[in-house]
Amino acid sequence: MPRNREFDIEQALDQALNAFWLKGYAATSMTDLMAAMGLSKSSFYQCFGSKREALLAALSRYSVRELAETRLHFNSAEPVAPLLAAWVRHSIDSGACRPSQRCGCLIVNVAVELAPHDGEIEEAVRHHLDKLAAFLADTIQRGYADGSIPKRFEPAQSADMLLNLIAGLQVLAKGGVEAHRLAAIVDVQLDCLLGQTH
């Protein structure tokens, strides 16, 4: 009868996710990971296979979590426009994997660092981006139907524009651009999309 595992896989993976999110992949050493996860190397490799595979698992986990939270946010009988505005504004705050740390968005971080050089990572990134875009497009279509969003662009175009907006904001935030400028960018973009500022 085998010895029982002493740690919880999902919890350990969350810790790994946070470590990668904070420092990036290359700059996070195995020592960093072991410290974050509270595991020995043997337990880590036994369970996750390799550093890269741990990252892939973390990406998947992050994606599932983000998409679920997004769906929950829009799961309301309220008109879509204010929900959308709140969601975009919230995205500026969500790049904090730790208090007072600017971690950005794990997908964005990994897209920049690894996607051009690793096909499987790129697929994971694409998978997330495409699913989010599809959900946003449906949501915008809903906004057209409920009349809260003026039909100015194809839903897919607006969705991609939102993706781009969020990605850009994460970069500028990590680069140290002031919060009031980020908020102003959001105002301008919401004006374009929804036809009013607040």
Partner DNA sequence: CTTGTACTGGACCGACCGGTCCGATATAGT
Partner DNA sequence: ACTATATCGGACCGGTCGGTCCAGTACAAG
Residue whose C-alpha is closest to residue 13's, from 44, 68, 32: 44
| Cβ–Cβ < 8 Å for 183, 198 | no
Q: Closest approach of Cβ 161 to a copy of itself, in Å?
A: 5
**Could you say whether residue 65 binds DNA (CB under 7 A)?**
no
Gap between the Cα atoms of 109 and 5, Å rounded: 32
Least gap, CB of 14 to DNA (angstroms): 16
Distance from C-alpha of 93 to C-alpha of 101, rounded to nearest angstrom: 11
Angstrom distances, CA of residue 48 to CA of 5, 39, 42, 55, 56? 13, 11, 10, 9, 10
Of 18, 19, 20, 28, the residue at the interface with DNA (CB under 7 A) is 28
For CA atoms 159, 163, 169, 172, the dihedral sign is negative
Instruction: Please report how many Cα atoms fall inside a 13 Å half-sphere around the Cα of residue 14, on the Cβ side.
Output: 8
Binding mask 13-42 for a copy of itself (x = CB under 8 A): ----------xx-xx---------------
Binding range to DNA, per CB under 7 A, among 29-37, 147-155, 165-173, 184-192: 29-37
Q: Do residues 106 and 170 make contact, with C-beta atoms less than 8 angstroms apart?
A: no
Name which position in 23, 24, 52, 112 contacts DNA (CB under 7 A): 52
Residue 23 in contact with DNA, rule: CB under 7 A: no
* Shorter beta-carbon distance to a copy of itself: residue 84 or 107: 107
Residues that bind a copy of itself (CB under 8 A): 23-24, 26-27, 101-104, 107-109, 111-113, 115-117, 122, 125-126, 129, 153, 157-158, 160-161, 163-172, 174-177, 181, 184-185, 187-189, 191-192
Residues that bind DNA (CB under 7 A): 1-7, 28-32, 39-43, 45-47, 50-52
